[in-house]
Amino acid sequence: MFANFDFDVIERSWRYLFFTGMAFTLRLTLFAMAGGIVFGTLLAMMRLSSIKPLAWIAGTYVNTLRSVPLVLVIFWFYFLVPYIGAWVLRSDTPIQVGAFASSLLTFVMFEACYYCEIMRAGIQSIPRGQVSAGYALGLTYWQSMALVVLPQAFRNMLPVLLTQTIVLFQDVSLVYVLSITDFVGAASKVAERDGRLVEMYSFVAVIYFAACFALSQLVRRLQARIAVVR
């Protein structure tokens, strides 16, 4: 099977694959993770809020977005954001949104739903007495969240947050539907140009496997360390 396997195509294209493709994938993953965790934490605080409308809005948002395939959300956003932007800015023509901005926005909005549920569990894992103790010392809601609850919730949830980020890293490959040159996109371009589909897609799979396997091992070790500290 590997008799006419052409390793040369990898040799010729790896710079392009990594410096253009993987660089995009990593950048999108990291920004989407940061944005998703911030937005997701806010959603989690809303879902747990005693103000019913806030809880309802966040709950509906999370449940709706989680019931739609990610590919569809990516498409929708890509084609709708220019028009929504035009509507918000009261402009007559659709605004120009780059592929990166559009896909970043999509992933932040989408992944926030999953980070929200993780942070919700994290916040709920902190005993109520901790909040009471914060309040009793005169801290406000935001202060006791920022100084007492969230730091502990993050620490408890760190392994799950990172696992979700590994999923995100894989999900980012779906932007190929927008013809964006992420890692998979770059590989498929080379593959089709050189007619070396098997080689390129095998190579991509190996890299993804290696990266994700290494990351999940890291998470496992982290988990063990946290368990000792607590």
Residue-level length of the chain: 230
152 vs 202, beta carbon nearer other proteins = 152
Say how far apart CA 62 and CA 43 lie, in whole Å.
8
50 versus 67: smaller Cβ distance to other proteins: 50
The answer to whether the beta carbons of residues 50 and 122 sit under 8 Å apart is no
Residue 75 vs 135, nearer CB to other proteins: 135
Q: Compose the 168-197 pattern: x for residues touching other proteins by CB under 8 A, - for all others.
A: ------------------------------
Residue position matching structure tokens 């390793």: 7
Listed in order, strand segments (DSSP E) in the chain are none
Interaction of residue 222 with other proteins, rule CB under 8 A: no
CA 113 – CA 28 distance, rounded (Å): 17
Report the residue from 34, 80, 133, 206 that binds other proteins according to the rule CB under 8 A: 133
Number of residues that bind other proteins (CB under 8 A): 19
Is there a contact between 125 and 48 (Cβ–Cβ < 8 Å)? no
> Is 140 a residue that touches other proteins (CB under 8 A)?
yes
- Please select the residue that binds other proteins; options are 71, 72, 136, 197, rule is CB under 8 A: 136
CA distance 218 to 189: 32
* The binder of other proteins chosen from 60, 63, 64, 130 (CB under 8 A): 130
**Residue 137 has which token pair?**
């010392």
Q: Which residues bind other proteins (CB under 8 A)?
A: 127, 129-130, 132-140, 143, 147-148, 151-152, 155, 230
